[in-house]
A and B are shown apart, each in its own frame.
Chain A
Amino acid sequence: MRSHWLLLPATLAASTSGYATIYLTVEQAQAAICPGATLTPAPVTLTSTQRDAIEKASGVRVRSPEVNAWRISGGGWFIIDEVLGKHEFITYAVGIDAAGSVRGVEIMEYRETYGGDVRNAKWLAQFTGKTSVAPLKLNRDIKNISGATLSSRHITDGVKRLLVTHDLALKKSS
């Protein structure tokens, strides 16, 4: 049996204020969830009555009235959505088939930050106009974090909200 202790100087720590991973572009997410299908952009702006109804039926807050949606050839919808956790900001895509059930969920981008609230508008502003996200302070080289469980509850809630959105707003516009 051998056991030893050593003091790690704090400088050895890879100090980051956050890190980010891009998994899929819009086109890749569409191909992953709806292989072979044709997608037609069909963005929807929810009315305040629809927002209220969706919040009531899903129990999840609707942060934005804009639904970033596409119609899938042969039926169903493809939606890109964002959720905010305490430290994470996640863009994900959901495919909903014609019967209203989930055909796939893919994480597109994951961003994490500490030392500041992720809801901070300034922090979020750097991600608008997503063509070239400023990597400022965000470390993309860090992979493979063995770091206890980060809950996926926000995404689960997001998917629940989108299923209700489909039911109350998208389906009727088909």
Chain B
Amino acid sequence: MTSRSKNPPEICRARPLLGTLVEVRAAAPSAGQAERAVNAAFAAIKRVHHLMSFHEPESDVGRLNRIATHRSVRVHAWTHLVLRRASRLHADTGGLFDIAIAPSLVRGGWLPRPAVLPAAGGTTADIALSAGNQVRFRRPLLIDLGGIAKGFAVDQAIAALRRSGATNGVVNAGGDLRVFGAQPALVHVRLPESPGTLVSLGHVSNGAVATSAHYFAQRRVRGAWRTPICHPSRRNFTTQACSVSVMADECWLADALCKVVWLAGAAAMPLLQKHGARARTLDACVGQGYREDHTDAA
């Protein structure tokens, strides 16, 4: 990555983690410090990956899905924090944000089938969280943190960059990105009907952007293309061709709110306002270019 000589050294690296490509960029007073900061950021992301992966049987999520219906399970403080945030958001959204829709994701083919697949019907409200990072399911549940953990990992990576003395940084985990430092970063988003065409969302400094869209995640279910965003009560998968971006202070929030805006549209406004977040929807309008919907809480 090029930088002018008066700027501090900046390095940029990418590694496959969280099921996507994670890019970390950092500037620091010295190249060695930038390198150490980037390595610390990747270590944080790797840690979140190993704690919260649905696919790894020994992750916290894997253990919870196997055991937490039968007895209380102690998890890492990060996992407990993500579960507390997910529970609050579940309550705040009247159940629209739900980490317990994994059985539907398994049936839709987005997640691998576990040994025992609980019946649909359980929700995030059936997760009991207690002191000492203890977690227990009040009924058989299958949880997946896919709608929040990636953003959380980005936040932890940004914290690691700061701790390591980086002065500026950007972490982008497959579209969930966060920027810190005095230097703003220009953020782009793909047009839903033409993912190779990019439009600018503007400059972001000390904030996060997350985007949910259909173009890479879609698959054919009973003859129709579906995205892996599932309505918790209707338990159907959305089919619209659009892209939702949410801007918030922290990436876990942007990541999670993105799914809520996708499902609720303008009805999510009060929630966005409560969290100081903004949303932008890009919707393909045939023959008219692209309609951009600003849902600004300002």
A-side residues, CB < 8 A to B, are 1-10, 12-19, 21, 23-24, 32, 87, 92, 105-107, 110, 112-115, 142-153, 155-156, 159
| Contact between chains at A151 and B20 (CB < 8 Å) | yes
Interfacial chain A residues near B175, Cβ < 8 Å: 145-149
Interfacial chain A residues near B172, Cβ < 8 Å: 144-146
A3-B295, A146-B172, A151-B20 known; A16+B196 contact, CB < 8 A? yes
B228-273 contacts to A (CB < 8 Å)? 243, 245, 266, 269-270, 273
| Contact between chains at B196 and A152 (CB < 8 Å) | no
Alpha-carbon separation in the docked complex, A17 to B185 (Å): 22
Report the minimal beta-carbon distance from A23 to chain B, rounded to whole angstroms. 5
| Contact between chains at B188 and A13 (CB < 8 Å) | no
Chain B interface, >50% SS class: strand
| Contact between chains at A152 and B186 (CB < 8 Å) | no
| Contact between chains at A156 and B16 (CB < 8 Å) | yes
Interfacial chain B residues near A4, Cβ < 8 Å: 294
Q: Tell me if B293 counts as interface (CB < 8 A to partner A).
A: yes
Smallest CB gap from A10: residue in B? B289
Between A and B, 9 residue pairs with Cβ closer than 8 Å are A7-B289, A8-B289, A13-B191, A13-B199, A16-B196, A143-B170, A144-B187, A144-B188, A147-B211
Interfacial chain B residues near A23, Cβ < 8 Å: 12-14
Interfacial chain B residues near A107, Cβ < 8 Å: 13-16, 21
Residue interface bits B172-189, CB-to-A below 8 A is 1, else 0: 101111010000011111
Alpha-carbon separation in the docked complex, A87 to B185 (Å): 25
B192-238 contacts to A (CB < 8 Å)? 194-201, 204, 209-217
Q: A145-B175, A146-B175 are in contact. List 4 more A-B contacts (CB 8 A).
A: A2-B296, A7-B289, A144-B188, A147-B198
Q: Tell me if B19 counts as interface (CB < 8 A to partner A).
A: yes
Q: Tell me if B115 counts as interface (CB < 8 A to partner A).
A: no
| Contact between chains at B216 and A150 (CB < 8 Å) | yes
Interfacial chain B residues near A15, Cβ < 8 Å: 197
Smallest CB gap from B22: residue in A? A152
Report the minimal beta-carbon distance from B111 to chain A, rounded to whole angstroms. 14
| Contact between chains at A110 and B14 (CB < 8 Å) | yes
Interfacial chain A residues near B15, Cβ < 8 Å: 105-107
Smallest CB gap from B196: residue in A? A114
Q: Give the most central of A12, A23, A159: most B CB within 10 Å.
A: A23
| Contact between chains at A150 and B187 (CB < 8 Å) | no
Q: Tell me if B92 counts as interface (CB < 8 A to partner A).
A: no
| Contact between chains at B12 and A146 (CB < 8 Å) | no
Query: Which one of B16, B177, B269, B273 lies within 8 Å of A152 (CB-CB)?
Result: B16
Query: Which one of A6, A14, A113 lies within 8 Å of B292 (CB-CB)?
Result: A6
Interfacial chain B residues near A113, Cβ < 8 Å: 196
| Contact between chains at B210 and A146 (CB < 8 Å) | yes
| Contact between chains at B296 and A149 (CB < 8 Å) | no
| Contact between chains at B187 and A18 (CB < 8 Å) | no
| Contact between chains at B215 and A7 (CB < 8 Å) | no
The 8 closest A-B pairs by CB, nearest first: A114-B196, A152-B16, A107-B14, A147-B190, A149-B174, A148-B213, A10-B289, A146-B211
Alpha-carbon separation in the docked complex, A10 to B191 (Å): 11
| Contact between chains at A8 and B189 (CB < 8 Å) | no
Alpha-carbon separation in the docked complex, A17 to B216 (Å): 17
| Contact between chains at B196 and A146 (CB < 8 Å) | no
A3-B266, A3-B269, A105-B15 known; A148+B197 contact, CB < 8 A? no
Report the minimal beta-carbon distance from A109 to chain B, rounded to whole angstroms. 10
| Contact between chains at A5 and B14 (CB < 8 Å) | no
| Contact between chains at B269 and A1 (CB < 8 Å) | yes
Residue interface bits B55-88, CB-to-A below 8 A is 1, else 0: 0000000000000000000000000000000000
Interfacial chain A residues near B170, Cβ < 8 Å: 143-144
A8-B290, A14-B200, A143-B186 known; A150+B194 contact, CB < 8 A? no
